Amino acid sequence: MGRLAEAFEAVLKGLTLEPARPEGYYQAGKTALDLAAACYDRVMAAPPASPYRHQLEGDRDVAQGLMETGIKSYRKALELAPQDLTIRFSLANACLESGKLTEAEAELRESLKLAGARSPIVNSVPYTTWIKLRLARVLAREDRPTEAKQVLGALQPGQFQAPEEFGEFLVCASSLGSEKAAAHALEVGLARFPGDSELGQWKAKLRDVQAASGHGKDTALETGGSAKIAQGVRFLAASNLETDNRLAKMFSSPQEYRGFRAAFLRNDAVSSGRMISNLDHLPGEPGEALVLGSLLQWLSYRFYEKLATAYPESEAAEKLAAENLSSAGQQEKALEIYQAMLERAGPSPELLRAIARIYWTQHKWDEALKALESLNQLDPYDPTTLVNLGRICSYKQDHDRAERYFERASKRDPAMFEAHLGLGEALRRRGDDEGALREFKIASQIEPSNPRPHYALSQVYRKRDRRELAAQEMATFERLQAHAALEKTRANRLLVPLD
């Protein structure tokens, strides 16, 4: 997976040697998020007919609490891949969370059919437990306790594969007043997954439910956005021991997959991360890239949990919390953390870049400009900051300032593609066609495979009525553009798309 994966492996080794170092957990979590972003870029660069683009959009929407939008995305994905059990399960979950119980029940029953179980009670098809547990939860929410208890009664906690399945059982059993069944399941779950934080919280929670006689109330625990994004791949691992699935195909042997699956389901972040770091490349297939991205995002969330438990007041824990929130689309919460750190510790390039990046993705140009200007005061010669300032000034139609920023950036780093491209655009707007042609040609020499300067060159040549050259540049643009989807996706994510 390149230098980033090598760094990830080195960080994981460092955690083994020095597990108490908070900065090590931060670096592991941050690197995992960087790799996840690279995977998601590959998913979003897939053709529009790929179901996994829509699945990723649904995952992101649901993680932000945008249930209606998420449901629409999942439905689009299902139209393209109606047999994909993970997508259908994700749709059912979104319907449940948004209170669409009839739709949730229908999708869960269809999921059971796809998995080969004609009945949630009679058929003991392996690895359909999580689906049945969710169905029982829906039935309980629909005030159909007898049916819900029938589904729960047919399940054996000793056969559960993941902590989430125990959690689902506890949610449903406690809401139905089945305290003995819940207590037994919790005992089995804690023995199977000792030290699991979510299951550990259920000890006190069950006592509270019993004391309050809170029958009929759904007592699900809060789940973070990054963990929600990974729910699909957790379901995939829990419901499929076999090696014929998107997750298993990433590993070189069935034994390797089973070893990873065991570590992953017991939430062993370090062991899971080490096995992932052994992969020799990022998957090219969008479905596998989505799975790996979700895994990496889950890893980062788990590293954050370790930090928050051992070092709740550390700067590393705050930074990784903000990184995870931002990656899950919860930008405002991430901003709150960054702003609090800024007020407490004063400005730093790292904090200002993080704040500017969030404002940039939100298209809040005034706020992003303010953060970048503060960053420029700390480091007046950083070419990336200068280019970003130039781009925002261009968006705000302040072309004179944009030109000055781009010119300064090109002088600080003559090999910087974005500096020359931005300067060329600024010169073209001012009517300096010769200057624009010069800068666009420099940009095309710096990145020969990038289509953007060729499009700009074609526009200038057309304006100057040099039709043959305009046609040549447009042909080059169209040829390169066909291979540029991944770069375009990456450019949309970053302030400046630099390698």
Q: What is the pLDDT of residue 492?
A: 46
Q: What is the pLDDT of residue 116?
A: 77
Rounded distance between C-alpha atoms, residue 136 and residue 201, angstroms: 22
Q: Does residue 434 have a pLDDT over 70?
A: yes
CATH superfamily of 82-223: Tetratricopeptide repeat domain (1.25.40.10)
Q: Which of 61-65, 240-244, 248-252 has the lowest mean pLDDT?
A: 240-244
Rounded distance between C-alpha atoms, residue 333 and residue 323, angstroms: 10
Environment class of 203 (CB within 10 Å of its CB; exposed 0-12, middle 13-18, buried 19+): exposed
* 28-43 confidence digits (pLDDT tens): 888 889 889 989 999 9
Q: Which regions of the chain carry the CATH code 1.25.40.10?
A: 82-223, 381-493
Whether the CB-CB separation of 226 and 328 falls below 8 Å is answered with yes
Q: What is the pLDDT of residue 485?
A: 54
Q: What is the pLDDT of residue 48?
A: 85
Averaged pLDDT for residues 259-285: 85
Nearest 5°: the CA angle 335, 38, 303 is: 55
Q: Which two tokens stand for residue 46?
A: 């897939």
Q: What is the pLDDT of residue 222?
A: 44
Whether the CB-CB separation of 261 and 153 falls below 8 Å is answered with no
Residue 144 DSSP symbol: -
* 476-493 confidence digits (pLDDT tens): 998 888 766 555 544 444
Rounded distance between C-alpha atoms, residue 9 and residue 108, angstroms: 39
Q: Which residues contact 276 (CB under 8 A, 6 or more apart)?
A: 260, 292, 295, 296, 299
CA atoms within 13 A on the CB side of 260: 29
Indicate the pLDDT class of residue 89, thresholds 50, 70 and 90.
Answer: very high
Longest dimension (CA), the chain: 84
For residue 82, give the 3-state DSSP assignment: coil
Place of tokens 């809170």: 214
Query: How many CB atoms within 10 Å of residue 25?
Result: 30
Q: HEC string of 19-48?
A: CCCHHHHHHHHHHHHHHHHHHHHHHHCCCC
Q: What is the pLDDT of residue 12?
A: 72
Place of tokens 């200007």: 373
Q: State whether the Cα torsion 111-152-238-206 is positive or negative.
A: positive
Q: Does residue 308 have a pLDDT over 60?
A: yes
Whether the CB-CB separation of 18 and 28 falls below 8 Å is answered with no
Tell me what percent of the residues of the chain surpass a pLDDT of 90: 54
Averaged pLDDT for residues 340-347: 91
Residue 222 DSSP symbol: P
* 377-432 confidence digits (pLDDT tens): 999 999 999 999 999 999 999 999 999 999 999 999 999 999 999 999 999 998 99
Would you tell me which CATH number, out of the four given (3.30.450.20, 1.25.40.10, 3.50.50.60, 3.40.50.720), belongs to the domain 381-493? 1.25.40.10
Indicate the pLDDT class of residue 243, thresholds 50, 70 and 90.
Answer: low
Q: Does residue 152 have a pLDDT over 60?
A: yes
The mean of the pLDDT values for the chain is: 86
Indicate the pLDDT class of residue 498, thresholds 50, 70 and 90.
Answer: very low
Q: What is the pLDDT of residue 328?
A: 82
Q: Name the more confident of 134 and 13.
A: 134
CA atoms within 13 A on the CB side of 248: 16
Q: What is the pLDDT of residue 121?
A: 62
Indicate the pLDDT class of residue 219, thresholds 50, 70 and 90.
Answer: very low
